[in-house]
Structure formats: structure tokens, C-alpha cells
């Protein structure tokens, strides 16, 4: 644990009364805001909401992860933080209690601390709170979440093996597969208005048999297929043939993971529906097919498929979870679509195109216009009328005004084609209600269709849905929010449970920086230049030089790409991907109980000694678990920088018009600072040494070569100033041949 010294006193939170409202929190200084933003980025929402609710004096809402042990840990942990002490654990599961009890007395270099009291203390820095989470809370959460997921997987496997579900391979009269829980492999979109289409409920009024099931529950849109060509003759959407590639191993956060299970018919590749930005872990696949016959693959659109090279019907399960990193999407293939539009709709599109609205806003308005003109219907008569003359399909839809999700989004896509062809037609499911066991159930009754448009600014696909009001399958409010460009934030979107939103924190950060810049040239009090004085002392430079460097560092960290994302953040995200890719599964004993007893707490340190000495019954560990370790093939990287400070660097840069030496200084500082932050990330990811895995060396080339920063793995104040001061020297002389 870090010492509780200057870092904490610098990061005090000032509490001001605001009338009858709850106390409002204001950050004491720039460093406090920056640490809070890091806290929001690195600590999962379920823990943040508990700690920040306690700081605001609010009682947190119950946890809703759907993982029994994990939710009990979070709820009890929240009560302990709210009361600033360990509560009575008599009614708590023993496994949960064994993780909570030690938190009331954690050893540090200066004695013992109570985690609950420390987290609820406004004077505790956000960096210390984050450190407590990483060292004391995260391991417990991950162990409990993995245990919950394992129990859910075992329950799903047991349920799948129970008799009673038919597995007939006969095809129904409608041409669809029988209602046996095996998803059809044909990749076609069928309107609920068509004869023979599956309705929202079966004859008994019960939900249709599950095609895919997900535990714990996660609702919303599940994308399965995308189409880019509309056949005006058949009125069917078509897609390019699948081009499969092997799916790479993905590491999932167990707190956000789900167990995904169902049935598959052999020799028919099956598309697995997923929410946006969710991924599978292919290594987690369990299936009762012959060994070596099943594989998880991806097609050219990034969709996940399961394929079994054997005959029969097989039960499978996988782990699914939110993607742990942000990445830009690849622009999808332009759509092909034609057909006559009604005059009223064409006139509206003409007016929208003539407006000065951004393209994305124009498209939203067109989809809303289509949606508001139609009423929801499953009318067979209407479908027969629309398809009687395929050439008049779109005009007839507008004339009659009845549509389900397929028909409405057909028309919306055709309208969008008047702007450009950067859209896709999407087929999948919308999950609104929980199943009998609290799971998310994807069945033929909640099959759904919508569309996606491409945003050139964010380099991302945006979901829009033209389905008219009245479809009982979908959440109408969510649909309307997305049409207006509004998005939510995670499973717990409650502003009462956070000190400040990320937007508010960044706003305070900018305002505080402006005030700080406004004091330039004026006498400044010690509290305002404390950071500069501290840096100057450690770097062995003047406070003025420290101020210059810190301003330069803030400036380069704000340099963004064309999409407005800081370059420094992008580099760190790429580095995190590398760390995740190098994680492998190894066996290790986990759990705070003896192997033969299962519920009595022993000494974990003693257990480790027992294991290493090959004791028959080691005390303190329950089961042989799979854990992740980061592979290290070598000791690190040595990177050598040679910067040019010859006379030519005083000339303007052709691209920016700035002096070349200034451009080199900013780019060099941005790159090296980001690189060394990545090193810190690598160390946090599990390295045993305090040394950074990357070493850098800096030389200058002008009238002679000069080493300004010897090979080092440190990036403290002294190294930062040595690097920066070298690049601020005046360019002179010629480029030396050596």
C-alpha cells in the first residue's frame, strides 16, 4: 500500500452546502480531478457507485449483475462502506464473508487501515482509493464472479442434458426448422406479416422455445446478420457469402461476462447474435460434439459463428462479455438498393438535403419521418398487397401505412439511399423480458430488424430503428433516444451515485486550468505552485522551468487525432491490447479454505508453504483454478532516440508552418511520455519488478553527438526534465556524419 502523505492532502475534496440539496463536491486542485478521471476509467462502475454514494451520503441501490455471490459481496461491501466499518456477516455466504472480513484490517508500511473507512473518507486521494481497489477488492470480485459463472455454466449444462425436448430434424410446412430450440441456419429475413411466419407467442400463449440463452440477463439489441443488397424482384435482402477466419482468444472481465448457451445442428455454420461491442472467448467453448469438430470463427463483417463438422444436434456454451477496449470499426460495404419512392417522402428528403443539418442529423430525421408515418401491424392482407406488385413495394407501404420491423426498415433504408449508400440492414433479436430462470432468451418471437448508418466522424456504425410505435417486442423509449442521438451509460445510469460525471469533471479541469493560466506573470501563492516547486526540487531545475515543462506536458497530452481522441489515450489502449494478448491460462490454487473441508478459514500464507512442500492436504485453498498470467519472452525493450538539432531544424515545417525543432519537441515528448505510461500499464498488469519493462536513451545530433539521457527504465521528474531540456536547445551546426 502507498504511504498516506502529500498525495492525499493534495487531493482533499471540499464539501459545500447547497441549501436543501445533498452536499456538492468540488475538487481541490488539478491533480485531484485528474486522479478522479483515472479512477472512473480504471475502476468498474459497480464499485465506483458504492464508494461515491457513500461519499455523497446516499444509500446505494442493490446490485443487479445477476451473479449471486458477486451481488452479495457488492451489496454487503456497499453497506460496510456506507457505515465505515465491517458489519455483522452472520447472514452472509461464508465465501463472501471470508473476502470481506480481512478488509477491516489491511497491513501497510505504517500499520493497519480499515478499507471501508478509508474509502468513505473524503480526504483519501482517488489514487489511493484506486490502489485499494486493485490490491484488495479486484481479486475477490474476480474470484467470486468466476465462481458464479462456473455455477451458471454447470446449471445450463445440467438443464441441456435433461430429457423432454424434441430433437426431430423434420422441416415444417412453412419451410422453417421445427420448434425444437435449434436455430435455423438459413440467413434470410422473414416479415412477421408473411404467411407462416412465427408470431410473438405460440398457441399456448407461452414464449417460443429459446434459440439462444444468456445468463445473467442482458437485454436490448442482439445483432446476428447484416445485409447490403435489396433484391427489388424478390423483395428479399441478400448478403455476400461468408469468408471465415479463425477467431482470436479474447480475455473477458468476469464481472461483465455472461454464459451463452444453446443448440446447434452439425455441418451448418450458425451466426451467434451479440450486443454491440460484445465479444466471445473462443477458448471457453464447451460442446458435446466429437473432439476437434467444433470451432468458433468470424466472418468478414466481424460476426461470430459456431461450426461443427459432424452430423447431429449438439449442446454448447461460451462466455460472452463487453469488449474491454475501444476500437474504431471498419467502414462497411456500401448498400445496393433501388425502387420508386412516394412523392411525399421524396419531397421531405429534398428539403432535408437542402438544409444545413449535418449528414448524420439528416439521416436521423428521415428515419423518424418514416417511423412516424407508419403504424405497427402484422396484417397478412397488407403484406399480400405490398408484394402483389414488387415495383410498387415502397409506394404501397407509404400509401397503406402498415408495417412491422422488416417492412418499416426496408422503407427507411430506401429513403436513406437518396442521401448515400452508407447503411446496412440488420437482422437479430430484441430482448426485453427475462425468461423463467432470469435469463435473456432469444427466440423466434422476439426476432427483430433495424438498420445501421456509418458515421465518418467517429468511424463507428450508428444503430437506428424505424419500427413504428406499438411493437410489443422492443423498448420504445430506447428506440426514440437513439433516433434523437441520445445514449445511456451502462447498467447503472444514476447520477445520484457519482461525485461527478466525466463531462462535469473535465469541465472543472478546463476551468481550473484557465484560472491557473490567468495568473501567469502575477505572484502566486504556494498552494498554486506546489506542484511546480515539487517537480523543480526533484528534477533539479527552477520552478519557472518546471512550469514550462508541465504546461508542455499538458499540451501534448491534449493532442488529438481526426476523431477527437487524444493520441496518448490511443497509444495506451493499443498497449493494453498487447498486454491482454500475452495473457495465458495456468493452473493455480484459489479460495480461502482447506481442500478437504470447504468452509473453514485457514492461513493463506501457510497454505502456499504447504503447496510448495507438497503437503497432501494444504490448508487455505479450495480448488485447482485456471488463472491468467502475462507471458514474458524477454526482459524488456531498449529504445534509442536520436534527435536532430542541426541548423536545418530552425526552418519552418512544410506541413504545419511551425519551426521543425518545435514540432520535433512536441512529437518527441508526446511519444516518449505515452510510451512510458504504457510501461506503467505493463507493470500494473502483473510484472513482479518495480522497474519499467522499457528502457530509453536519448542523444542529440547537431555539431557533435551528445548523450542527454543515458539508458534508463525510469520516467520520473529528473528524466522528464533531462529529456525536455535537451529538445529545447537552439538548433545549430550541421548534421554530423557519426
Q: Is 498 helix (H, G, I), strand (E, B) or coil?
A: coil
Query: Of the given ranges (46-55, 498-507, 729-738), which has the lowest mean pLDDT?
Result: 729-738
Task: State whether 464 and 608 are in the same domain.
Answer: no
pLDDT recorded at residue 330? 78
Q: Is residue 89 part of a domain?
A: yes
Q: Is residue 540 part of a domain?
A: yes
81-91 pLDDT, tens digit each: 999 999 999 99
411-447 pLDDT, tens digit each: 999 999 999 999 999 999 999 988 888 899 999 889 9
> Which residue bears the cell 411466419?
197
Q: Write the DSSP assignment of 325-390 as a string of letters.
A: S--PPPPPPPPB---PPPHHHHHHHHHHHHS---HHHHHHHHHHHHHHH-EE---HHHHHHHHHSG
How far is it, in rounded angstroms, from Cα 370 to Cα 451? 13
Task: State whether 614 and 702 are in the same domain.
Answer: no
Task: State whether 671 and 706 are in the same domain.
Answer: yes
> Which residue bears the cell 429475413?
189
Last residue of some domain: 116, 149, 182?
Answer: 149
Q: Is residue 469 part of a domain?
A: yes
Task: State whether 665 and 713 are in the same domain.
Answer: yes
**Distance (Å) of CA 201 to CA 273, 443, 445, 473, 715:** 21, 10, 6, 11, 63
* Total tally of structural domains belonging to the chain: 4
Q: Is residue 605 part of a domain?
A: yes
Query: Residue 45 in contact with residue 60, Cβ under 8 Å?
Result: no
**Distance (Å) of CA 226 to CA 19, 45, 174, 303:** 53, 32, 24, 9
pLDDT recorded at residue 537? 80
pLDDT band at 361 (very low <50, low <70, confident <90, very high): very high
* Nearest residue to 467 via CA among 458, 454, 476: 476
pLDDT recorded at residue 494? 59
Last residue of some domain: 149, 172, 189?
Answer: 149
pLDDT recorded at residue 563? 73
pLDDT recorded at residue 619? 62
- DSSP summary character for residue 566: B
Task: State whether 644 and 675 are in the same domain.
Answer: yes
How far is it, in rounded angstroms, from Cα 152 to Cα 139? 20
pLDDT recorded at residue 616? 60
Beta strands in 599-636 (DSSP E): 623-630
Name beta bridge partners: 113.
106
Query: Residue 435 in contact with residue 390, Cβ under 8 Å?
Result: no
pLDDT recorded at residue 534? 77
Task: State whether 51 and 127 are in the same domain.
Answer: yes
pLDDT band at 177 (very low <50, low <70, confident <90, very high): very low
Task: State whether 351 and 424 are in the same domain.
Answer: yes
125-144 pLDDT, tens digit each: 999 999 999 999 999 999 99
| The C-alpha cell that represents 169 in the structure block | 430434424
Query: Residue 694 in contact with residue 636, Cβ under 8 Å?
Result: yes
Q: Is residue 373 part of a domain?
A: yes
- For residue 560, the enclosing domain spans 531-576+634-727
Q: Is residue 424 part of a domain?
A: yes
Q: Is the pLDDT of residue 155 over 50?
A: yes
Residue 50 vs residue 602, higher pLDDT: 50
How far is it, in rounded angstroms, from Cα 58 to Cα 497? 7
Please report how many Cα atoms fall inside a 13 Å half-sphere around the Cα of residue 469, on the Cβ side. 6
* Helical (H) or strand (E) element with 316: strand 313-322
477-490 pLDDT, tens digit each: 888 888 887 754 33
Task: State whether 45 and 134 are in the same domain.
Answer: yes
pLDDT recorded at residue 538? 82
Q: Is the pLDDT of residue 693 over 70?
A: no
Query: Residue 393 in contact with residue 341, Cβ under 8 Å?
Result: no
Q: Is residue 466 part of a domain?
A: yes
Task: State whether 401 and 543 are in the same domain.
Answer: no
How far is it, in rounded angstroms, from Cα 664 to Cα 651? 12
Q: Is 702 helix (H, G, I), strand (E, B) or coil?
A: coil
Q: Is the pLDDT of residue 203 over 60?
A: no
How far is it, in rounded angstroms, from Cα 368 to Cα 222? 22
451-478 pLDDT, tens digit each: 999 987 777 899 999 999 999 989 988 8
pLDDT recorded at residue 160? 75
Q: Is residue 161 part of a domain?
A: no
Last residue of some domain: 149, 181, 213?
Answer: 149
Task: State whether 371 and 453 are in the same domain.
Answer: yes
In the predicted model, what is the mean pLDDT of residues 717-733?
A: 75
Task: State whether 669 and 538 are in the same domain.
Answer: yes
625-655 pLDDT, tens digit each: 555 555 554 456 788 888 877 777 777 766 6
Query: Residue 469 in contact with residue 475, Cβ under 8 Å?
Result: no
Q: Is the pLDDT of residue 397 over 90?
A: yes
| The C-alpha cell that represents 641 in the structure block | 532516440
pTM equals 0.66
Task: State whether 365 and 472 are in the same domain.
Answer: yes
Amino acid at each position: 500500500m502507498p504511504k498516506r502523505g502529500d498525495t492525499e492532502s493534495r487531493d482533499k475534496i471540499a464539501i459545500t452546502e447547497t441549501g436543501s440539496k445533498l452536499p456538492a463536491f468540488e475538487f481541490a486542485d488539478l491533480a485531484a480531478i485528474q486522479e478522479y478521471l483515472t479512477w472512473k476509467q480504471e475502476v468498474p462502475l459497480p464499485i465506483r457507485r458504492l464508494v461515491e454514494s457513500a461519499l455523497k451520503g446516499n444509500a446505494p441501490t442493490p446490485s443487479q449483475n445477476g451473479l449471486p455471490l458477486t451481488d452479495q459481496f457488492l451489496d454487503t461491501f456497499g453497506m460496510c462502506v456506507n457505515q465505515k466499518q465491517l458489519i455483522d456477516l452472520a447472514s452472509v455466504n461464508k465465501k463472501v464473508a471470508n473476502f470481506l472480513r480481512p478488509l477491516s484490517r489491511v497491513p501497510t508500511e505504517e500499520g493497519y487501515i480499515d478499507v471501508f473507512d478509508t474509502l468513505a473518507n473524503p480526504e483519501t486521494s482517488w489514487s489511493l482509493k484506486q490502489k485499494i481497489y486493485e490490491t484488495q477488492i479486484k481479486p475477490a470480485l474476480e474470484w467470486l464472479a468466476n465462481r458464479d459463472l462456473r455455477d451458471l455454466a454447470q446449471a445450463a449444462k445440467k438443464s441441456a442434458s435433461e430429457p423432454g425436448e424434441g430433437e426431430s430434424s423434420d422441416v415444417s410446412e412453412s419451410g422453417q426448422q421445427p420448434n425444437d430450440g435449434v436455430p435455423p441456419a438459413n440467413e434470410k429475413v422473414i416479415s412477421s406479416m408473411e404467411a407462416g411466419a412465427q408470431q410473438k407467442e405460440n398457441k399456448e400463449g407461452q414464449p417460443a422455445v429459446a434459440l439462444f440463452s444468456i445468463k445473467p440477463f442482458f437485454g436490448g439489441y442482439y445483432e446476428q446478420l447484416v445485409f447490403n443488397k435489396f433484391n427489388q424482384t424478390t423483395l428479399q435482402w441478400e448478403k455476400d457469402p461468408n469468408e471465415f477466419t479463425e477467431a482470436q482468444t479474447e480475455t473477458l472481465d468476469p464481472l461483465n461476462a455472461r454464459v451463452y448457451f444453446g443448440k446447434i445442428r452439425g455441418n451448418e455454420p450458425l451466426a451467434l447474435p451479440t450486443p454491440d461491442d460484445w465479444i466471445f472467448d473462443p477458448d471457453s467453448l464447451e460442446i458435446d460434439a466429437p473432439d476437434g469438430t467444433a470451432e468458433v470463427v468470424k466472418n468478414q463483417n466481424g460476426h461470430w459463428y459456431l461450426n461443427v463438422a459432424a452430423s447431429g444436434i449438439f449442446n454448447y456454451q461460451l462466455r460472452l462479455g463487453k469488449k474491454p477496449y475501444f476500437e474504431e470499426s471498419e467502414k462497411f460495404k456500401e448498400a445496393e438498393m433501388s425502387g420508386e419512392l412516394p412523392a411525399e417522402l421524396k419531397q421531405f428528403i429534398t428539403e432535408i438535403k437542402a438544409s444545413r443539418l449535418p449528414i448524420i442529423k439528416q439521416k436521423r430525421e428521415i428515419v423518424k419521418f418514416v417511423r412516424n408515418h407508419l403504424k405497427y401491424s402484422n396484417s397478412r392482407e397488407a403484406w399480400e398487397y405490398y408484394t402483389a406488385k414488387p415495383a410498387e413495394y415502397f409506394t404501397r407501404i407509404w400509401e397503406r401505412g402498415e408495417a412491422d420491423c422488416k417492412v418499416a426498415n426496408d422503407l427507411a433504408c430506401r429513403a436513406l439511399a437518396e442521401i448515400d449508400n452508407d447503411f446496412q440492414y440488420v437482422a437479430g433479436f430484441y430482448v426485453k423480458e427475462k425468461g423463467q430462470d432470469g435469463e435473456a432468451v432469444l427466440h423466434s418471437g422476439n426476432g427483430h430488424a433495424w438498420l445501421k448508418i456509418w458515421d465518418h466522424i467517429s468511424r463507428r456504425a450508428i444503430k437506428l430503428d424505424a419500427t413504428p410505435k406499438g411493437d410489443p417486442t422492443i423498448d420504445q423509449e430506447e428506440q426514440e433516444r437513439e433516433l434523437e442521438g441520445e445514449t445511456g451509460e451502462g447498467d447503472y445510469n444514476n447520477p445520484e451515485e457519482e461525485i461527478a460525471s466525466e463531462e462535469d469533471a473535465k469541465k472543472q479541469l478546463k476551468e481550473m486550468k484557465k484560472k491557473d493560466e490567468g495568473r501567469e506573470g502575477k505572484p502566486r501563492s504556494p498552494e498554486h505552485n506546489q506542484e511546480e516547486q515539487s517537480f523543480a526540487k526533484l528534477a533539479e531545475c527552477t520552478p519557472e522551468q518546471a512550469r514550462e515543462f508541465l504546461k508542455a506536458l499538458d499540451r501534448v497530452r491534449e493532442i488529438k487525432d481526426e476523431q477527437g481522441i487524444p493520441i496518448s489515450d490511443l497509444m495506451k489502449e493499443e498497449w493494453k491490447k498487447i498486454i491482454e494478448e500475452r495473457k495465458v491460462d495456468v493452473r493455480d490454487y484459489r479460495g480461502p479454505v482447506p481442500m478437504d473441508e470447504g468452509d473453514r478459514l485457514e492461513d493463506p500464507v501457510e497454505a502456499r508453504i504447504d503447496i510448495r512442500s507438497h503437503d497432501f492436504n494444504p490448508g487455505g485453498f479450495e480448488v485447482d483454478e485456471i488463472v491468467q498470467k502475462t507471458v514474458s519472452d524477454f526482459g524488456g525493450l531498449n529504445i534509442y532516440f536520436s534527435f536532430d538539432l542541426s541548423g536545418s531544424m530552425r526552418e519552418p515545417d512544410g506541413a504545419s508552418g511551425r519551426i521543425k525543432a518545435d514540432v520535433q519537441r512536441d512529437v518527441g515528448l508526446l511519444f516518449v511520455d505515452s510510451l512510458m505510461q504504457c510501461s506503467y500499464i505493463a507493470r500494473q498488469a502483473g510484472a513482479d519488478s518495480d522497474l519499467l519493462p522499457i528502457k530509453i536513451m536519448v542523444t542529440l545530433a547537431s555539431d557533435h553527438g551528445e548523450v542527454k539521457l543515458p539508458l534508463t527504465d525510469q520516467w520520473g521528474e529528473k528524466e522528464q526534465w533531462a529529456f525536455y531540456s535537451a529538445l529545447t536547445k537552439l538548433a545549430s551546426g550541421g548534421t554530423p556524419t557519426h
